[in-house]
Structures are given as C-alpha cells and as structure tokens.
C-alpha cells in the first residue's frame, strides 16, 4: 500500500494504516531530526511529537507528497524544540553552558565524519536543512522547495552555498578523509 492510500485509510479511522505509515517513516524522521541538530538523546521524543502532530493534522493534509509534508512537520517540531532548548540554556549557569559532545560517537565514525557533521551543524539553518534533505534524504530541489516554501532555484542556490562553505571550512581545518 502506498503513502496516499495509507493516509486516506488513516483519515477514515483505520489505525492499522496509520501504524504502517509510522513504521515506514519512523527511521527517516529520527535521522532527519538528528541531522538538523536535535540531540541524540531527544530524537525519540521529537519523533513521537512529529507523529502525534501528523495524526492530529491528517485532516489538513492537502494530498501533496506525504514525505514532503512529513519533512515539514519534522522541521517545525525540531525548530520548536531547539527554540525551547535555547531558552533553557540561557538560564543555565555559564559553567554548564557548553558541553563538548560529539554525535555518532557510539557509531565509531571516523574523525573526518565527526568533523563534517559538526561543520554541517554550524551552517546557518537556511543552508543546513536543504543540504541535509538533498544529500542525506535524496530529496529533489523541487521537493525541498515545497518543504521550505522556497523556489527550486532558491533551494539550488542554498545547497550550492552550503557546499562552498563546507569546502572552505574543510580546507581550513585540513581534516584527512
């Protein structure tokens, strides 16, 4: 059963269809949330929030690509979470302000992979999100434009600028791949 059919059945009250949507897209939501900056320890909560929001908003889904809509919901949930987290951090004492944790440490990634991930996280959101969607989630520029409400050419430009910034940083750091 494709996404469109599962959405229609879920709208009609078929809980099994909604469970299938969750099963199909759960890992994608987790991965995207982490890649755009949600801490690994909070990815599960964000993912659950996303699917709760999807369930509540199924009636407002306009019938475009479900995946595109799901990325939009995930991006909004992650942004909300990061804003809340940022406010909380401002209230924490300076000693606790910055902790040096590297994502993916338990995956045994190479130093170069860690450095690249950190560089991507340091990009402005307007460059980071399209870059991640294009290269890590294989979304077309058109699909990314729908998620971000930007033109296809604006998305291409942002991805190109993100790549340029990463290349410049990579050369500055001189990490060996």
Q: pLDDT at position 89, please?
A: 64
Q: 150-162 b/e with 16+ CB inside 10 Å = b?
A: beeebbbebbebb
The per-type count for the chain, helices as H runs and strands as E runs, is 8, 0
Q: Is the pLDDT of residue 94 over 50?
A: no
pLDDT value at 139 more than 50: yes
Lowest mean pLDDT among 8-12, 63-67, 100-104, 173-177: 100-104
Tell me which residue has tokens 């992979």. 113
What's the chain's average pLDDT? Answer: 84
Residue 115 has pLDDT above 90, yes or no: no
Domains and CATH numbers, the chain: 1-99 (1.10.1740.10), 103-177 (1.10.10.10)
C-alpha distances (whole Å) from 12 to each of 9, 57, 59, 82 are: 5, 13, 10, 34
**Tokens 């804003």 correspond to what residue?**
83
Helix axes 3-11, 66-90, angle to 10 degrees: 70
- Residues 67-76 have a mean pLDDT of 94
CA 103, 109, 112, 116 dihedral sign is negative
What is this structure's pTM? 0.66
Distance separating alpha carbons of residues 140 and 73, to the nearest angstrom: 18
């Amino acid at each position: 059963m494709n996404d469109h059919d599962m959405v229609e059945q879920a709208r009609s009250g078929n809980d099994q269809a909604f469970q299938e949507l969750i099963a199909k897209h759960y890992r994608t939501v987790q991965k995207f949330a982490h890649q755009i900056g949600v801490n690994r320890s909070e990815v599960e909560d964000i993912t659950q929030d996303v699917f709760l929001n999807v369930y509540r908003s199924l009636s407002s889904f306009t019938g475009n690509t479900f995946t595109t809509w799901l990325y939009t919901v995930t991006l909004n949930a992650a942004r909300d979470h990061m804003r809340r987290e940022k406010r909380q951090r401002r209230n924490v004492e300076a000693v606790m302000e910055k902790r040096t944790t590297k994502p993916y440490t338990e995956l045994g990634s190479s130093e170069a992979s860690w450095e690249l991930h950190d560089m991507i996280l340091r990009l402005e959101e307007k460059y980071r999100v399209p870059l991640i969607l294009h290269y890590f989630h294989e979304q077309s520029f058109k699909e990314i434009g729908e998620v971000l409400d930007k033109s296809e050419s604006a998305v291409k430009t942002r991805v190109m600028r993100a790549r340029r910034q990463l290349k410049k940083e990579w050369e500055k750091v001189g990490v060996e791949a």
